[in-house]
Structures are given as C-alpha cells and as structure tokens.
Structure 1
C-alpha cells in the first residue's frame, strides 16, 4: 500500500485554516453568499488536495468543476427550459440562459481568486522563512485592521498565528525526514513522544487564555498606544468607535444599522451586510420601526411621553386584531384608500437587531406571533416605554402606541418573536386628492410637535425652502418639490466629509456646507424644510424592503431586485430613515428624499399585476438587454468550452498510453515482466519529480545520475538495479518475494523523491 504523506496533508489543512482566519475580516464588506462561497471553495480545495491521489491537473479540474457547481448552487440557479421544441424556442432558450450568466461574474472572481490564493499559499508555506515573514506581515495587518476599524479580530489573529506556528513544526519534521531518515523512522515508531507535548502545550495556552480574569491588565502596550503616550497625546481608539457614558467603547455605533444613535446625527459608517430577517410578502414595502418628531439641532429626541402613551393598548401574545386603537382625534384619514398587505417576518437567530419594536409595513392592522425565542443579549427597550409606569409581563407583552404607529414587544422573561405575521393597510397615493387636501389649523396646539423647530435654526434654511417651492401652489406639490430638490442636488455617500461643516445646526451644515450624506441627512433636512412652510412632518426609521430571494421564483430573474411577491432578505445595511407628511383626510403619507433610493409605493390608478403580466414583463426585460451583455456572457461560455476542450484533448492524448498500459498489465504472466513494468513506472514518476531519464541511456546510467542528484537514493537504487538486471537478462524466473522487495524499494525511492532538496 502507498504510504500517506501526513506532513503534506497537515500543510494543506493548516494553510486553509490560516487563509480562512485571515479573510474573515472581509465578512462585513461582502454579501453573505460571497462569504459562504469563499468558505466552501477553501473546504473543497483542501479536501481534494488532501484525499484525492490524482495528478495536479486532475485535481485542479475536479476543484474547478466543483467550485463552478457550487456557485450555481449558492445562487440557486435554475435553467429556463423552452416551452416548445422548435428552433426559434431553442435559440431563445440559449439566449436567455446565456444572458443570465451575467450574475456569475462577481462570484466567479471571488471563487477563483480564493482558489488560486489557496494553492499559491500551500506552496509558499513550504519554506520556513516565508512562513515567518507571512506571520509577521499578516499579524501586523490584522492588528491595524482591528485597531482602526470596527472589526474584532483577536480570535482570528490567534487562530492565524497558531496555524503558522503549527506549520513551522511541520516544516521542522519535513527537514528532519530529509536530513535524517533513520531519526524520522524512529519517530514514526514512537509518535506519542512528539504529539503529546504539542497537544499539552496548546491546551495549556488555550485554557489559560479562556480563564484569565477580565480585569487583568496587559503586561505590554501595543506600539501605537505606546507611541501616542510617548508624545503626550491621547490615543485615538478608532474612527469607527465611540465612547458611551460609562467609558465603554461601542464599535457597533459606526456600523450601519437600526440601533444607531438618533440624537447625535452625522459622521460616517461602514455597511454591515449581516442578515436581520426574511420577509415573505405579497408586495415589498419599507419596514417601519419608530417615529421621532423633536429635532434639537443635532438630531432627534423622544419627547412628550403622554402623547406616545395616549390610547395605548396592551395586547396578548397571540393573534391580535386590536391594532386599530384610536389615534388622537386630530388625525383624520377618512379619504385614504389602502391596500391590505400580508407579511410573514422571520428574525434570524443571530440577528444584530436588538430593539423592542416589531417591524411592519406602514400602519399595522393585525399581528399573529407564530414562534418566539429567548434572546441572549439585552433588549434595547425604548426610553418611552422604559420610563413609563406601564406594568409589563408575559401575559400582555404587546404594547401598541397608535399615535406614533409603534408596536413594542416587552416580555419580562426575555422572550422575543422569532416569527410573526403582520397584516398592514398600505396607503394608495392619490395625487389629485392630496393636492386638494384641506389645510390644517396651524393655530391648533396639537400640531406644534410636528412643526417644532430649534430657536436658533439659521434663517437661510427657511429661505431655501421658500425658494425651492416658489412655483408650487399646494402643500403636496411643495413637499414633492423639496423631495426632488434633495434627491437631485446632493450626492449620496456613507462617508461625508464632516470637516467642511462649520454650522452648529445639522441640517444647515448638510444643505450649505457638507452638501453630501446618507439617509439621515436627507430625511432630517426634508422634515425641517417642510416644517418651515407650516406643513406637519415627522421622521421615521426602519429598513428598506431588502433583496428578493429568487429561490421561490420560477425563473432566475435578471433583475434580482424586481418588485413583486416573494421572500425578501433584509440586511443590517438596509437600515434606513425617511419622512412622513400629514395631509388632512389622508393621514401620514411617506416620502423618500434620499438620492438613489426609491420607496415601493402604490397609487390609486395602479393596476394589480397578475402572474401572467409578471411573465410578460420578464420576457420584455430579457429582450431589452444590451448586445454588450450578451457578448460578455458569450465570452464566458466560450471560455468554459475552451477549458473543457483542452482538458478533453489532454485526456484523449493519454488515452492510447493508458489503454496499452492497462492491457499490458493484464497480459503479464511472469514475475519478471511485472518487475520490469514497475521499474518503468518508477522512471516516469522520477521524470515528474525532476529526476530526468533519457531514451539513449541505460538504466544504470540513469540511476547513477539520480544518485548524484540525491545521495539518499543510492542504496535502494543499487538493489533495484540488480533486481532489474536479473528480471530482464536472467534465465530464471523471479519469485513473488523478489517482486515484493522491488515494490518496497520503489516505494522507498518515491518517498525520498517527494522530499524537496
């Protein structure tokens, strides 16, 4: 039996561990399916390289095919078959599937890139000095990333360093096997003398790390902190971190998400693509969370506790139809037409969402809790509920606040809905009716909260509002003018240049100084501009509709975000804020002022889209794709065909040799011929290991060159040469014992050849 090279298998496995730990920090920047793809590419490549004894070209072909199939599986690829077996339909079938290959581009680049890097790193770690250089560079890189970004990478750094240290141990044994075969054979007979101390060492290190007290100060200071203290300066923890009141550093604050601080708006953030929930819906909508209406000049605060709790209702943790509690009598929506939307929302178990508000579309009409789970983290209870005198318990955990349209789940046992179904009344936008809506009584004290503005708001803000709406004659057109102005004037960015801002007022800085930003900038500015015109407005935060999961679609759509019924995946990067404007007779109507965003709204004149219409629209979308896209995907198909063709040619080229080789082995009768064939196979193996042999040289001359190239082969080659001469030129029949001896010598020679000199 062929001896397994366990040292090389260890190198392959530990390289995969190292690469995975080093690439972990990309998880916050890449989509979940991309992270899943990279992980499985590493697993597949590692498994094939370790356990499939094929030649390298064969292994590479298997790995590429497996990775390509994996990409199709992760993307939930489905072939669109033709409806009829005619040439026209077959051509259309080919064009459709070629067009749909466009979605593979980013995933192919990530998958093939990870595969190539992995194979290169396996070769790279065969040198001790390259391994030491790698651990130094990568440790410094990840430490800098951990210090100056929102990533917490100490676990990954520990895993990476451990993997490289184990690689150095493996490299030591490989050198020992090369330089002292006798010592290596002795270690193989007593492996516990080496393995047990290594296991004990790493076990002690891990256990001591786990149980070290949290209040123990580090013995050494990191270079950055030491340098800052040497200069007499306070070290900056990170531009992605903020200190809270008790001095605790909260890295989550600089990530996108629902739980960001609303009272101090501004600054930049990084997109967090971790998944929050999946929503099965008859129509996609924004998912409404909480409402704010008191603007303090820097952000939004919660005020007027009595107004929030007015007409509040405590509901049972069961199917509830009681979400139609009366709002304040001033709210009038008698003219509003709505459409009923049913949504089944499933919160992911490891979701970073920790609020107490149950998300839903616009205004909830009923809710049914389907499943619950116990949260590991502390629920961030809204301060309004936290400061109230409402008694909460497990029997009445649902708190409905109709005035602000918020539904809180407050369970003193720590439970929270993991899956629930919401029925909502989504407004149908009647543009004509909104233009003719009667004006509110601005003298009524009730509207003060929705018209509130800071006393020190710069006058140029209100002057800008008047300038934008100069040509509009009714509140609706004025609001739309402000919405379009913000969308068209200011570019969207998640890293606005705050150094340009000098004004003390957040909206004033955005409109006249920074002039770029993200949703909080746009929505806050629209509320303030609208209020300066005497139009009631409030600020709302929640999530956008997310991206549709095409697994439930009969086709793999070209436009993956096309609106329609289905399952939508909402990520933390989908956290968003927008505006609601009050129109008498219609209630609170949502508006979307953020550039590059478009809220999925319904209008009174809108015709309900049937499944047949969806299919026709799909065909129209596919037909309208540009010729460049088709050519681009044709090149992908051509590349795949070329790769498979070359592979097939290489296999066919060796088919004749393989056929005669198998036939020759089956025709062998004597032991002499078997010994000769085994030695001929050794010559081919040696050629692949850079031990050359030439047709015009005898076996003795070839073996002499091999011995000169590697002195460790001398004894085995001399004995094998004697066996070859006896088998080829001798007159007697060789015995089976001599055949086994020749095979043993050949195995020994191959093991020595595999050791790099």
Structure 2
C-alpha cells in the first residue's frame, strides 16, 4: 500500500503552503530590522524546500546552499566577480576579523557579513525542522501556533502592522492543518489514496476555508469587547494598569506631534547635577498646537553663537542677586544640547566649544568645529529670576492687545478646538482681574477639580478628538504632558501668550557637599518633564507648573513690594504642595503598605472585586478548557498513559493496561458489541488496523485472568504491542 508521503502532488501542495508560512516569519524580520534583500532570502528558502521535497542527498543540498550564501555575500557586499581571487580574499579577510572578535568576546566588532551568515543558518535550520515535521511527523501545529503568536506579539509591541498578515496565516495554517490531518487519517486507516480520492477531500477543504475567509472579511464586525490588554498585562508587574492606550517608556523624546498613551517608568540615569538647590532643567519650547500634540513653527531668526564664558541672553533675564550660582552637570546620556536652569548667564566646557542659541525654541546646542557636540560635563553660571509682585499686579488684560506681532505665534490655536475648551477658560478666570491672576487660576484649577496624576490608563485621542478636550472633560487622568498642554491651550483661549516647555525636573537628591554648600541630584529618564511658560505684559516670561504633585522650581521667588499693614497683601498665597510623584517615593509607599497593610486574603478579595470581569472571564475560560479537554481526551490520553505504564511492572500492570486500552478503543469509536467475546473483538480490531497485536494482547489477558496464570505473562514483551495500539487511537 502506497503511503500518502509518496504522493508527489499532495506533498508539493504541503511544501508550497509551508513556504508561504515561512514568508510570514521573514517579512516582519526584514521590515523591523531594515535588512533589505527580502527576495533573495525568499529564494534561499524556496531552494531549500525544493531540495527537501525532491529528497536531494544531504551533501549536494548542503553544497548548493553554501554556494548560494557565498554568492549572496559577494553580490551584496562587494563588486567582485563570484569566481575570483578578490572574492576569495574578501571572504577570508572577513572570516579572520570575525574569528578574532569571537575569541576576544568583542561582539560589537562582528561584521554585517557574519550576522548575515548567522541569519542564513537560522533559515537553514528552520527549513530542516519544518521538513521533518511535514514529511515525518505529518504535523505542523506547533509551528503554526508559534507563527500566530509571533505575528501577534510584533503587531502589539512593535511598529509592524500584522492585520493582513494574520489573515494570511490563518488561511494558510488552516489549509495546512487540514491536509496534514487528512494525511494522518489516511495512514492511520490504511486507505489507498488516488488523485481523485484526494481531490474529493482537498477541494471541499479549500472551498470551506475560502468561504469562511470571505465571510470573515466582508461581514460587519463589532468593536473590541475589551480594551488594549498591554497596559493590563503590565499592571501585574506594578508598572502599568488597565487602559485603552499604547505603552511607551518614559524619557526625553524629540517627536511630540502625537501625545497620549501610557508610560512605563525608566530609572536609567540621564545626568547628575551639583547645584545649591534643585532646578528645572530646560531644553526647548514648542509653539504650534495641532489638536494631537506639539510642533515647532518655522525658524524666524538665525541662531546666536556664543563662546565659553560669554554672557548668554535669553528671554529670562538673570536675577539681581550679588552672587551668581554655579551648576555642574555630569552627563550619563549623550544629549546634543545643553540642559540649563532659568536665569542662565554663561556656559563653560573643555575645548573650543561654541553655543548656538535659537530664539525660536530657546534650545542651546554645543558645536565643535561647527558640528553638533555631545558634552560629557557642563558648568553653568546662573542667577535665578526675581519677579516683583507690584509688576505682576499691573498686568492688566488691556495690555495684551498692545503686544507686538511676534507674540502671535504663542496665541495660536487650531480651528478645530472645541468651543467648550474656550468656555472653560472663561469660567475658570471669571473672577480674576490681572493676567497673572488668570494664569494662577488656570494653574490651580487642576488641583481642585478631581484631576489625577498617573502614567497608566492614559488614552490616545481618536482621529476626530482633541487631546486637551479629552483630558479636560472625559478622562481627567494623565501626566505632565496632559496638564501642561491643557494649561497652554486654556491660556491661549484667553489671548495670553503661552508656550510648552520640555526638559527635566530637579530629580532626587542623593548627596551633598558641605564644603561647597551644594547638593547633588540624580536625574533619570523618570524625571523627563514638561511645563508652561506664559508671558506677563510688562514683566516678561514666567514659569508655571500645572501638573499635580510638582511644585516647580522653588528658587523662582517673588519680590513683594507692598504695604505690610494691608493683611490682604502681606503674602502671595502659595499653592498647596503635594508629595513629589517620584518613583522612589512610590516604591517606599508600596513597601510600607506591604509591611503594615492587609493580609493575603484581603488582597485577594480586593483584587477579585476590582477585576470581576477578568476573574469571571478567566473562570469561564478555565471551565471551557476543562470541558474541551474532557471531550477531546481520546486524543491526549495516550500521551499520558504510554509513559505512565512504560515505567511500571508487576503482575497487575498488564491487566490494568489492557482494560485501559479497551476504554480508549471505545472512546476512539470502535465499540465492543453486547455479548461479543474479547477474542472476537480483538480480531475485529486487528482487521481494522491491519495488525495482529490486539489478538496477542487478548490471548495473554485471557491466560492471566481466566486461566489463572498471571505469572506467565511478560509485560515487558507486550509493552510495544500495547503502545502501538493505544497510539493509533490518538489520531
């Protein structure tokens, strides 16, 4: 009887489907790593599968693959002819470099050619494994499941879009699984196969998959029942929470055009600052709000160049203190800009460094020989700004109309901004007389109206949704970007010039130098921050901090030039201070709760009450899985029974194993008729499977049980027959 494995047409269909499945692995790898030459890699996979299908001798197959890899390397990485001394010298030279790098464990010195060879080796092994699964095991379920998981993970956690890929995988995988199941069934029942018989199975299978796919694609679809699971999954590690947003890692970024989404904490050090008191470290500002985030307007003025020690003129004039302050920054990360405090006077670095100050975004970039430079250490001299309360009380609203045109870009708002945002700005400031009072009213608004600071469960606005409107009226939950952007937009709704500022907050004090009367702060990626600068007519630009839990730079003081006899003007009311929402304090709070908090059962009950839906779904899924396993026990029980009985011996082991085989045959669908003797049933089993093993086992069982001679039965000799029969029932 011919095996289905020898049917070339049938096996060709299998190998074509395998090629399509392997291509779905290769595509995202090429896309995400920006490797290129996808077609040439696919050709290699095709050649490898073709030689496996044709059962080419392993030595010839290996030689062809090696020649192809060498041709690829020479063709892609050199301009030499394939059969030339230059090509041979190139291969040997690169081999020497990589061998030296491997022996010295200097992995960074390995070349692109070496990594390409490793990638080809991986493809080679993958093709071999799949060839083994298809040709010998007639099962590719594991590889199919891994492919689905691979694409799903990449689609969830990377920029790769797997929407169409997952459809292709399901179609190819279902066809492949169906054909392999058919092959196992034909072999298990020893059925002769012909082209006509195979077509009667294959054509309906393909039609069924095609119709199912078409219905799935074109029928209306409901929206997702659950939110994005990524924040929910990360919530179990204490770093995230449930929510419908994407998850990023916190830190200083460049692109602010699309704000929103949850963040994971990152305590990677950014720099250390030795300074008298903690400062806000400014990097840049942005002025164009787009309903989704921030962009920078076109440059309107040439940068101003300064040298080491030059007095740098920014829009924040240094204060009037007699002595300036020094700050020394030791950089842990490579930043092509200077982080500077308010009231900066001069910068000092080693070497002939020049500093380019841009009036458009207030960014200071160091230059070495005209090229961008990433400093290791920076020394800054500064004098913190001082503001007069008298001047702030004279910032009347009518002065806003007198501002020159260069302030217009700081009052820009998109036409799509919902009217209720403008109405809210008017409502917040209806009792405020001066521009400064209005700015303070907006700044304080977030602390008094149930807003929440959080890095998790932060949504991304929909296509037709405004980022600020969503935060102010729907979620009321966010981090510094939400608060600072909302304040800028609210101020601009009142025609108050305002801009969005990026940089780092003061960080965590880790040490102090008593001799120099300075403190040392460690600033990490967690301290990346955004805040607000607003223009007060007649006074200048001022820093405002709307984010709950952050108090701004404490060194920005107010000069109170007032009559102390007036109790209403004795002191400018200060904002209530809340604890800094730093990661270290969160960890300490968590540790404190763990030592004195509720017990295990209380925490379990609290978790269940907070995640009723997830617990219910988990329980339902567990019940469904248990029922499914019970109904399909005929398939998986042999995998458990065989190793169980293989390790056991003794007089009663054979009897138990034989009775277990009878039950398994009954589950398989070959039932013993009422009144049918065991030997008659055994002959029927052997005729069904084409063996003599059941008759042999039954004779031994009758001899042991009915003949009263169990000692004559050798279980070790009968194990193989028993295993062969029970394994047949799992197909």
**What is the TM-score normalised by the length of structure 1?**
0.42
State the structure with more CA Rg: 2
Task: Tell me: higher relative CO, structure 1 or 2? Use CA pairs within 8 A at least 6 residues apart.
Answer: 1
